[in-house]
Chain A
Amino acid sequence: MTDNPNNWPLWEIFIQSKRGLEHKHVGSLHAADAQMAIENARDVYTRRQEGQSIWVVPAGAISSSQPDDAAMLFDPADDKTYRHPTFYTMPEGAKYI
């Protein structure tokens, strides 16, 4: 995004495809304000009944982790297999567990 005030700012678009499901990130677009972003998102991202609700978030409001930090952030989970149910051996014959 440029800092030129004459350019429309960038918005990240989240679409909820069905009631009960989460809003999922689908992409982004430029618009003058939030209302226009919603209207444009309707046209850009939901032409084939993909959505029933739209969230728009100024792209600058999103902070992201850095790719270089991925190992530091996510590797520690690799050796914690005891967080999964399959780690445990259940006594033979036990049901519903």
Chain B
Amino acid sequence: MTDVQNLEERFQAKIDAELKIEPKDWMPEKYRKTLIRQISQHAHSEVVGMLPEGNWITRAPNLRRKAILLAKVQDEAGHGLYLYSACETLGVTREQTIDDLLSGKAKYSSIFNYPTLTWADIGAIGWLVDGAAIMNQVMLCRTSYGPYARAMVRICKEESFHQRQGYEIMAVLAKGTPEQKEMAQDALNRWWWPSLMMFGPTDANSPHSAESMKWKIKRQSNDELRQTFIDRTVQQAEVIGLTIPDPRLKWNESTQHYDWGEIDWTEFNNVVAGNGPCNKERLAARNKAHDDGAWVRKAALAHAAKKAKKKQAA
């Protein structure tokens, strides 16, 4: 038996025994690479996710909503930072990770390439997009890599208000004037299918899934998570009197799950490939923010150097 085989077996034995992998542990190169890709994509999604919501901060309908939206966007920035630092424990630099986002090399969740056209979209994002993200993130609290799992525990705790504030917005609009209810329904119509796409390709078309499950990076499949999300969300829509835009949606007594229609995978692939409604705008906004901040980063370093010099002289 070669040394690497031996190491891989010991690594897998740890995973099978539900022991977390920590940064100093030996790990297969592919495990490290997979985690770097997944954690950095996750971090980028938090950061780019600020853009569609940030679009409505100045136009929130009242001070209460504005304070809440600000707090939420602020959380997303924090979550991006927790994840970037978890990513750094795998031996990749912060600078490289950010560069990969800015150059378009790295991906982020495609859901943020859709526009926020009305105030109801902020409700739909909290309820559906955060709802879908939470399904995934609750699973990731038990992921096998220690620093990632710890970041997710923190994130899940903080996110628990995100979905509720969105659902509250939808509930209020749905009980409002006919125009307000229509606005809420229109937002649900536009965000429903992209939210289902957030869980990724079907299990049959998800080539990396088996390995991620074996390494317990993931613990539930895309299709399982998507089904649970649908089962939970349909009831929530009913309670506030909105209709899920899927004519094939139907409760199935024998499976105890909802049957539902078909995701438009052509649209999914198109948005992933960079041709969604806002891909270019999002990347341009991130690049502009990064470039505009260059002088601030430089000035802070110069100031720190000056203070250090002063202290040395004293």
Contacts and interface: CB of A to CB of B under 8 A. Distances in A.
Interface string A2-39: 00000000000000100111100000000000000000
B22 A82 contact: no
Contact of A84 (B19, B20, B161): B161
A12 B150 CA distance: 22
Nearest to B75: A83
**Band of interface residues on B:** 20 to 34
A97 interface: yes
Contacts of B284: none
B167 A82 contact: no
B160 A85 contact: yes
Interface secondary structure of B, over-half rule: helix
Contacts of A90: 164, 167-168, 171
A89 B161 CA distance: 11
A57 to B, nearest CB: 16
Given A91-B239, A97-B236, A19 B20 contact: yes
Contacts, number: 64
A53 interface: yes
Interface residues of A, number: 22
Contacts of B309: none
Contacts of B68: 82
Most buried by B among A22, A80, A83: A83
A82 B165 contact: yes
B240 interface: yes
Interface in B8-41: 19-22, 24
A82 B161 contact: yes
Interface in B159-202: 160-161, 163-165, 167-168, 171
A85 B171 CA distance: 16
Query: Which residue, of A80, A82, A87, has the highest number of chain B Cβ atoms within 10 A?
Result: A82
B165 A88 contact: yes
B146 A95 contact: no
A60 interface: no
B145 to A, nearest CB: 9
23 contacts: A16-B22, A19-B22, A20-B146, A20-B149, A21-B150, A22-B150, A53-B24, A80-B71, A82-B64, A82-B67, A82-B68, A82-B165, A85-B160, A85-B161, A87-B161, A88-B165, A90-B164, A91-B240, A94-B235, A95-B236, A97-B131, A97-B163, A97-B236
Closest 3 A/B residue pairs (Cβ): A20-B20, A88-B164, A85-B160
